[in-house]
Structure 1
Amino acid sequence: MAITIMGINAGVIRQDKNFLALALKIKAPRSKESLFFLPALVLKDLLIALEYRISHVAKLSADEHSRYEKARDKAIQKMHQNIPAIQVQELEQADVNMRVKTLTLMQHDADAMTFSLNLQSGKTVELTVDVLQIELLITVMIHAINNADMRELVVRLSSIIDFLPLYDVDYREGGNLEYDSYDHPAWKRNLFTHHLAVLYRYADAEGKTQFSGTVIKTRSKPGTKEVEGISRRLLDASPRLNKLAGIPSQVLVRTLSSDKNKTFSADACMQALYQLQQNAEKAKA
């Protein structure tokens, strides 16, 4: 049986300036309380899933949005009446068995999202989040991190939750491609729709034209300002592309597919990026 949320609270466990985990305390029906510890990668996965659901709010009609806001405010008011206290010793003597190793979105519909939390103890706990609780949950977690004077972490997390990197690529002599790949579970890939190949054309220190690229999956439509913003943020998120941060570059984007269920092999992605580079070379000539 899944834990349902009556109230929430959050704190941060850190060592010096290093973030260790977000402490998320949940009050369930019959005053039962659970305290989970979410390391950065698990917190990112949770935010990716929550951001996906929040993105649907913008698509509501004016009347639907008004009804949503009224229902959300009522739900938040009830949660404010059931905030569980977090004691200092609960953070100082954190139960390692309640550390969340992995998080999986099991199911979601118009009303709720159900997550499976794989704990350090080996146990698995299901947590159901009502759609009307999502905004407050995000606010509470972000507020806790900000209160811990770790605003840089908030900025970093918020910059990487609206896309998934699949491959980062450098073009080498002779037409060879050298790449890093990223593996994501199916539940996470299914939250995104558009496969995009993104090519960066830039000049190196000697003035020679170079190319790097990436393949991502995102909900943002090609040709939008959102994709333009993602193309910039990718440079900070990718170890391979980070060298381009601050360097002027031409950015070219090609849609591979807008079928969310379609998948692409590494060879198909490399071929798409290679073709994009060839087209850029021809256009320049």
Structure 2
Amino acid sequence: MPQFSANLSWLYPHLPFLDRFEAAARDGFTAVEYLAPYGWQAAELAARLRAHGLRQVLFNAPAAGLTPPEMAAAWGQGARGTAALPGQEVAFRAGIQEALRYAAALDCPCIHVMSGTVPTGADPAAMQATLVDNLRWACAQAAAQGCQLLIEPINVRDMPGYFLQQQAQAHAVLDAVDSPQLKVLMDLYHCQVTEGDVASKLRQYLPTGRVAHLQIAGVPERQEPDKGELHYPYLFEVIDALGYAGWVGCEYRPAADTSNGLGWCQRYWA
């Protein structure tokens, strides 16, 4: 049976962020993930997790920035990661160190590291080399803390110009970095938009043990998984048959009230 994690950056949008922890627990979730914690004190987030019996299972490294205030503001200013950006190595390292500090405080096992969007005129080979070098350094830092780093292919319809787009591309990066600390975040929504053939991709990559987290949403509107062209009951059967034991993040835009739209997953908790 899939283990579902509530993505609090997307679910319960009518509530202030810190109130979303209680809402997720009330609806039956036992784990949460979200875009980034940097706008809040780690102690406050940890207190919310404890108060509502929740586990933190994933968040992103900062999208950019050298200082904590810059890191907290980076996503809203349009930054989408620095790992593949030549010349941004100092910001990348500062962001990884801040992410690991939060991961320790929140007892979070996984950090998603974003590669960034391709600047005009950039050399893809130089970006690939920068990504690999940065991830090798970051994996060494994460290993000391027992933390897993993840990279995620993202479709360019939702995130124009994003460097990492294909599942095969992500797994080639894993080959090049060659560290057990680095794995793939496989978002089935992005996979369907970019590549399709999702069940075959699951059968190809889950048995490798190199996919550490899944995320889901309906396609194409990115709403509840029971809406759209992907048949998730079948995909959940495939995931179970392949022995995947990780979390499945609910990263979608609710069509209306989040709680009222959770019937699709609550049947798996019955």
Q: TM-score, normalised by structure 1?
A: 0.21
Q: Which one scores higher on RCO, CA 8 angstroms, separation ≥ 6?
A: 2
Larger Rg over CA atoms = 1
Q: TM-score, normalised by structure 2?
A: 0.21
